[in-house]
């Protein structure tokens, strides 16, 4: 997995809404294998423009399939909020905004997959063929939508921060995002105290 030309992989994050917004939880899992270095943004900081070295190393024999030219991100959004399918579709669409905040642009060869589900409804198949379900009403889903954007953004950053440099098939090497340098860049843009 290569994310913004650093080592990528699996990342997760979650948000719990305050009681007045329903107290629901949004959890996001990403498999981050997408993006270009020049667009990488963390906390609004152009990290990819600041850390321009440590690009993937691909031996000439392996260049027939350029690393990073075909990539994708998979996002799974889960919630305990009682949502209907059209509302879950809206959550999935908001995950794309979180991808964009980190610099994902949905490049042409990218096979982005985003899905959302709710664990709130448990239907009893032993009762009559119709059932009533509760759902969060229109105009009360905004906190869920915002939490989805935030958790998606954080999941991608977490995948980058958790990854380690790796050398794989054909000697391809993908470098981890250097933590010390990331902190320096964030400090430069006043996004990190101390």
Instruction: For 133-165, write each residue's pLDDT tens digit.
Output: 788 888 899 999 999 999 999 999 999 999 999
Higher pLDDT pick, 130 / 84: 84
User: Residue 166: beta bridge partners?
Assistant: 174
Q: Where are the domains of the chain?
A: 2-188
Would the pLDDT of 35 be above 50? Answer: yes
Q: Which pLDDT score, from 0 to 100, does residue 194 have?
A: 65
CA–CA dist 116, 93 (Å, integer):
9
Classify residue 107 as exposed, middle or buried by CB count within 10 Å of its CB (0-12, 13-18, 19+): middle
Per-residue model confidence (pLDDT) at position 69: 57
The highest-level CATH class for domain 2-188 is alpha beta
Render pLDDT for 50-92 as a digit per residue (tens, 0 to 9).
Answer: 999 999 998 865 455 444 455 789 999 999 999 999 999 999 9
SS3 content of the chain, % helix, strand, coil (to 5): 35, 20, 45
Predicted confidence band at 33 (pLDDT cuts at 50, 70, 90)?
very high
The catalytic residues are: 72, 110, 112
% of residues, the chain, pLDDT over 70: 92
User: Tokens representing 3?
Assistant: 């994310």
Q: What is the mean pLDDT of the chain?
A: 90
Q: In what order do the strands lie in the sheet with 72-79?
A: 9-16, 25-33, 72-79, 113-118
Looking at residue 45, the DSSP 8-state letter turns out to be: B
So what's the pLDDT on residue 68? 43
And the tokens for 81? Answer: 């909020």
pLDDT value of position 40: 97
**What pLDDT shows up at residue 8?**
95
């Amino acid at each position: 997995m290569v994310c913004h030309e650093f080592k990528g992989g699996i990342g997760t994050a979650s948000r719990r809404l305050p009681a007045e917004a329903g107290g629901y939880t949004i959890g996001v899992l990403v498999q981050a294998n997408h993006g270009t270095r020049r667009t990488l943004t963390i906390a609004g900081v152009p990290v990819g423009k600041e850390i321009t070295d440590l690009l993937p190393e691909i031996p000439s024999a392996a260049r027939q399939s350029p690393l990073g030219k075909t990539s994708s991100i998979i996002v799974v959004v889960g919630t305990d909020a009682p949502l209907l399918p059209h509302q879950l579709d809206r959550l999935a669409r908001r995950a794309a905004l979180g991808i964009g905040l980190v610099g994902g642009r949905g490049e042409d060869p990218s096979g982005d997959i985003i899905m959302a589900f709710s664990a709130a409804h448990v239907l009893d198949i032993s009762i009559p063929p119709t059932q009533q379900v509760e759902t969060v009403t229109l105009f009360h889903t905004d906190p869920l939508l915002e939490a989805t954007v935030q958790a998606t953004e954080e999941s991608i950053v977490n995948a980058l921060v958790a990854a380690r440099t790796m050398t794989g098939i054909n000697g391809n090497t993908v470098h981890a995002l250097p933590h010390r340098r990331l902190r320096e860049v964030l400090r430069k843009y006043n996004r990190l105290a101390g």
